[in-house]
Every structure is written in structure tokens, then in C-alpha cells.
Structure 1
Amino acid sequence: MRIFLTTGMSALLIVLALGGAAFAQSCRLALVLALDVSGSVDAAEYSQQVNGLAAALDHPDVRAQILDGSGLHVSLAVYEWSSRNHQYVIQPWTALTTNGALDAAIARIRGHQKVRAGLRTAMGTSLSFAASLFRAQSDCWVKTVDVSGDGKNNIGVTPVQLYQSGAFDEITVNALVIGGSGASQASAKHDLLRYFETEVIHGSSSFAMIAHGYDDYADAMRRKLIRELQVPVFGASKY
């Protein structure tokens, strides 16, 4: 039987129905946010990305989704990535169980300064790093990577090759595609979105969302987080 849930109270009903086994898994979602800091991202755009993520997490609608009162928390980790040798953790795993915990994560993200990074775009290597982070969150019901990017993989293993290894059999990959904001960028933006939709996102419930330039990043991330934070569907195959 499939049970579709969209609210914290519904999640609580599921916990009560499943009994002790559900209480052993009090984390409903392990969410990794991966921020692109490759050579195509300048200092101003990096600032918009970091501050945009902090603003999205601080939005009342996102707070309400994270702190939904169900007793099932969200665990969050954030890192920046670029070339094959650069994945830097900004926010280690933290359980967002209270407003104070969420405030601390937001402050840490907002206060982060970009670390020296390579110029290339090693998205497959970055995703492999994300998969390794989930080893510390094995009890979470759902594991999701939210990868932001404004370009295609151009060095190292590709996302498609990585998925063939089976490392992402229980991990969903969503994408926030950062395209140009001008009318002249429409074709390139469409091409980039198609790339992310066909070669980057992974899992039957996965999706890609567009940000129309870095000025739109905060709003696009807010909408994306609200969608990702929906309580999962139990009893349905995700892959």
C-alpha cells in the first residue's frame, strides 16, 4: 500500500503506525548541498550563492518545512566543489532540530569565505564525495544531494559513469541550474538545463530547477528546498 504524506502531522502518524522501527530512524532527510566554485564563478557570484543559500534556509516557509513538529529531523551538510582535488566542507553534518540549530548553520554558511579552488568542473568527482558523506547518515529515511552548477562536467568521471557503479542506488540527486539572465542566454540556458536533466539528476523523484542568473539564486533555492523538504512517499520504489 502506498501512503502519500505532505505534512509534519502526517509524518507523525506514520511514526506511530510503524512503532519502534520508525523511532529508530528519527532522521527523515539527509540533505547535502553542493555549491559550484569552479572557474566560471567569480567572487561576486560566489557571494550571491552563499548568501542566497543562507537566505533561503532562513525564509519562513523553509523554516516551517524543516521544523515541522513531527519529531523527525532534517540533517544538513554543505560543501563547495570545483576540480577533482577540491571539495571543501562548509557545514559538517548537523541535525536541524531547533531554531537555534538552524540559526547556527545559517550563520556558518553566511560567514564562510571561499577556499582556493581549481578552475575545472569535476561534477562526477564532487558527487562521489557527496556519496561518501552519507556513510555518517545511514539511518535517515531519504538521502538527497542538491547540486548547484553553471556548467557541464569537463574533467574526471562523469555523473552518468558514477551512477553505473551503484553508489547512488539509494541516493537522489537534484540540481539547481544557474543560467544567464539575459534574453541572449536563452539557448545556452536551455542546453544547460537539458544536460542536467539527462546526465546529472538521478532517481525517479529527482528534478532540476533553473535559476535565471545568480541574482535569482536565493529565490530559486528557496523554491527548491521547499520541494525537497516534502515528507517522502513510503511504500513506493524511488529507483
Structure 2
Amino acid sequence: MTGWIRVALVAAGLLTALSGAQAREPVDVALVLAVDVSRSMSPRELAIQREGYAAALNHPDVVRAISQGAYGRIAVTMFEWAGESSIAEVFDWTLVETGADADRLSAIVSSSKPVGLRRTSISGAIVHALKRLDEAPFDGFRKVVDISGDGPNNQGQPVLAAREEALAKRIVINGLPLMTSDGPGSGFNIQDLDVYYGECVIGGPGSFLVPVTSWDQFPEAIRRKLILEIGGLPAIDPAILPAQALPSQRLLTSSQPYDCLIGEKIWEQRQWMFDDR
């Protein structure tokens, strides 16, 4: 940098910002794992989810996908979410380059104790994920938010508004809709949750969703999803639905737009039945 450029940058107050940006370590992907722990999920479901993430994080195929990236490393953080103000961090931003790094994260998740919390705010989870990405000490070539959930948004700002905020920052949102019925809050579930996630939640270049219809599918689904997110590969697995092949486009015949406020409307109608969900 020549002297006169440095002087101009200092005068404009930009040099510190540039230096800070350059100090962030480059990684192939900065990945936020946002995990639903709303009370509509049973303790058994929470345990399967926790064990599935723990097994996926250090799976040899996942570690191999990390090593094959341009930088050979990713940065990942995880938090649990339910209502708009119900956020619990599982682990902070962590650099993963080796199997040993992945083993440490897996052990943290295995030892965590998720607790069911009230309401379901997908929009709140997205907003918190964006904050975590802003705070990341790593510079991800790709920035991805991975959201799991078993129901539609029923608290906080509309989910479409939060999604637009993410897309404006060129952040990709992928989804893991949990289309199961074991939990106590089935009164707030919707049968076409995969369509809801496709229409209202996921977005960005190469975005996709992996529907889970039974809990025995979960470990493989999250492993497959992590590999795709880390590698940035095209979605060729028929169980993985990319943005251009959403269920809504393949199955719905109605010309009416999907109602992305369905969760809020269900809550208004049924909150007296499930006031603690």
C-alpha cells in the first residue's frame, strides 16, 4: 500500500476496518447450526437430534469433505432455539481442520443437555444466526445458516422478512424440516412442513432442504446435509430438495401463493389448547 493511499484511508477512518477484515482467517464455509428445541419436541426427539448432530460432526465422510475444500477448513457454531428470546449457545465459533477438531465438537454436543423451550420463532433463529455470522472471527468463502425445526414460525417477525435480511447479505439458508409426530405439540404442526420450508424459510444460491419423516432417518439426513453444505456440491440426491425442485413446485396445483403466516394463524386459533408450547 503506497503512502498516500494509507494516509487517505487513515483520514477516512477505513484502515482499521480493512486491517480487521484482513485479520479474519479464511475458511471454505462459515456454518451456523440452528437447532430447534421447542416444547413441541419430546425428550426422546431432543435426544435423537443431539445424538445425530454429535455423530455427524465427526463422521469420517464429513471430515473428508472438510479436507477437500480449497482451504481445507471450516468454521462452525451451534445454538439451540425456540421462542424469539429463547436462545442457548451450544458452542462458539470453532475452526475445524482435522478429525481431532471434529471429535472435540462432537464431544461437546454429546454432553449438552437440551431443554424444551416455549414457542417457535424461525425468524428469531435466522436473525440470531446473522448476528453470529457478523461476529465470526473467520472469513467464510460461503456463509450458510442450517435450520432444523418441526413446525412453522409462530412468534417474532414474519419469517419472510428475516429471510430477506439474510439473502440481502448473500447468506444461504438451508432447512431440515422435521416432519414427525412424536412430540406433545402436534396441534401446531402442519402436514406440508417441507413445502413451508421451501416457500418461506430456505433461500440463496444452491439452497436446499432435507425432509425428515421419521427419526430413524435423522442421523443419515444431518450427515448428508453437512457434507453438501461443506462441499458446496450440487444437490443430486433425490432425498435432498434444491430450491429449483421444491415440493411446492412439484406437487401443488393451486395458483394461490403459499401462506407463510400459517404458523402465526394456528397459534392465534389454538394457543388456549397448548399455552406452554
If the length of structure 1 is used for normalisation, what is the TM-score?
Answer: 0.79
Kept in 2: contact 1:131–1:168 (CA 8 A):
no
Deviates more, 1:63-72 or 1:98-107: 63-72
Deviation at 1:165, TM superposition (A): 4.0
Kept in 1: contact 2:123–2:163 (CA 8 A):
no
- Report what 1:162 is aligned to: 162
In 2: Cα distance, 1:23 partner to 1:69 partner = 20
In 2: Cα distance, 1:190 partner to 1:128 partner = 26
Instruction: Tell me: CA distance 1:53–1:37, structure 2 relative to 1, closer, same or farther (3 Å).
Output: same
Kept in 2: contact 1:34–1:78 (CA 8 A):
yes
Q: Which runs of 5+ in 1 are unaligned?
A: 1-21, 234-239
Instruction: Tell me: CA distance 1:37–1:70, structure 2 relative to 1, closer, same or farther (3 Å).
Output: same
Kept in 1: contact 2:28–2:70 (CA 8 A):
no
In 1: Cα distance, 2:163 partner to 2:35 partner = 20
Residue 218 (1) aligns with residue 204 (2): no
Residue 98 (1) aligns with residue 114 (2): no
Instruction: Tell me: CA distance 1:232–1:120, structure 2 relative to 1, closer, same or farther (3 Å).
Output: same
In 1: Cα distance, 2:166 partner to 2:37 partner = 27
Deviates more, 1:119-128 or 1:133-142: 133-142
Q: Superposition pairs for residues 75-114 of structure 1, below 5 Å? A: 75-114=75-114
In 2: Cα distance, 1:223 partner to 1:76 partner = 16
Instruction: Tell me: CA distance 1:71–1:213, structure 2 relative to 1, closer, same or farther (3 Å).
Output: same
**Which residue identity lines up with residue 226 of structure 1 in the other structure?**
I
Q: SS of the residue aligned with 2:192?
A: helix
Deviation at 1:178, TM superposition (A): 0.8
Percent identity of paired positions between Structure 1 and Structure 2: 31
RMSD: 2.7
- Report what 2:256 is aligned to: none
In 1: Cα distance, 2:166 partner to 2:179 partner = 30
Kept in 2: contact 1:145–1:174 (CA 8 A):
yes
- Report what 1:145 is aligned to: 145
Instruction: Tell me: CA distance 1:88–1:166, structure 2 relative to 1, closer, same or farther (3 Å).
Output: closer
Count of residues in correspondence between the two structures: 208
Deviation at 1:46, TM superposition (A): 0.4
If the length of structure 2 is used for normalisation, what is the TM-score?
Answer: 0.68
Q: State the Cα deviation string for residues 178-220 of structure 1 (Å, max 9, x = none).
A: 11279xx9xx776110000000001131111111222221111
Residue 55 (1) aligns with residue 58 (2): no
Q: State the Cα deviation string for residues 64-112 of structure 1 (Å, max 9, x = none).
A: 1123374341001011000111111101100002222111111001110
- Report what 1:36 is aligned to: 36
Instruction: Tell me: CA distance 1:189–1:85, structure 2 relative to 1, closer, same or farther (3 Å).
Output: closer
Q: SS of the residue aligned with 1:53?
A: helix
Residue 177 (1) aligns with residue 177 (2): yes
In 2: Cα distance, 1:208 partner to 1:232 partner = 14
Instruction: Tell me: CA distance 1:231–1:24, structure 2 relative to 1, closer, same or farther (3 Å).
Output: farther
Deviation at 1:24, TM superposition (A): 7.5
Q: Which runs of 5+ in 2 are unaligned?
A: 1-21, 235-277
User: Which has the higher Rg, Structure 1 or Structure 2?
Assistant: 2
Q: SS of the residue aligned with 1:146?
A: strand
Q: Superposition pairs for residues 218-237 of structure 1, below 5 Å? A: 218-231=219-232
- Report what 2:16 is aligned to: none
Instruction: Tell me: CA distance 1:24–1:42, structure 2 relative to 1, closer, same or farther (3 Å).
Output: closer
Residue 124 (1) aligns with residue 120 (2): no
**Which residue identity lines up with residue 149 of structure 1 in the other structure?**
G
Q: State the Cα deviation string for residues 2-44 of structure 1 (Å, max 9, x = none).
A: xxxxxxxxxxxxxxxxxxxx99863110011111000111111
Instruction: Tell me: CA distance 1:29–1:64, structure 2 relative to 1, closer, same or farther (3 Å).
Output: same
